[in-house]
Amino acid sequence: MSILLSIPLHLIKYNFKYLNGMKSIFPMSRRSQPSSDLAAFRDIFKKSSNIVVLTGAGVSAESGVPTFRGAGGFWRKYVAQDLATPEAFTRNPSLVWEFYHYRRELVLTKQPNRAHEALAECESRLKREGKNFLLITQNIDGLHLKAGSQEVLELHGSLFKTRCLKCGRVAENRDSPICPALKEK
């Protein structure tokens, strides 16, 4: 039996060792209606061998990471959502680099909270029991990894990974600033 907390089927393209063939792991006939029955959830969770968890901004907000849509959704006079696009980078790469530099600097001061830690502990326990666990996050702050989670899919990427627009090379970079031009910004 498998439990699926939330995952769009288009994510099948991600090649995690135990998610190949996800359609057969999560057949349509096993989907159930939403429920707040905690006892039923515990029973299903206990019987499941494949656990997928989806997290979003609320998890990291507890650590002090501002959300795009909350009160901290503006950076200077810009709407953060408007800067977080390839089109914005094409129009004004310096501004976008500065925006992400600000976000990186902010996140570097934050620590995982109890929710991040609980998910890492859950993953560890489930692995010891021989079960599969995948944490899919919309967050780009790396706090799940910092808390100890191993199987993490960062849907929107990471503040600490850069990709060359010419060759596609991806590299992790935790330098601060990421480049000399951002010093003192």
10 is an active site residue: no
Which residue(s) pair with 134 in the sheet? 52
- Residues in contact with 9: Cβ distance below 8 Å, sequence separation at least 6, in sequence order: 22, 23
Q: Which residue has the tokens 């060792």?
A: 17
Catalytic residue among 101, 116, 144, 156: 156
The neighbour count for residue 9, using CB atoms within 10 Å, is: 10
Which residue(s) pair with 153 in the sheet? 136
Which residue(s) pair with 51 in the sheet? 3, 133
Catalytic residue IDs? 156
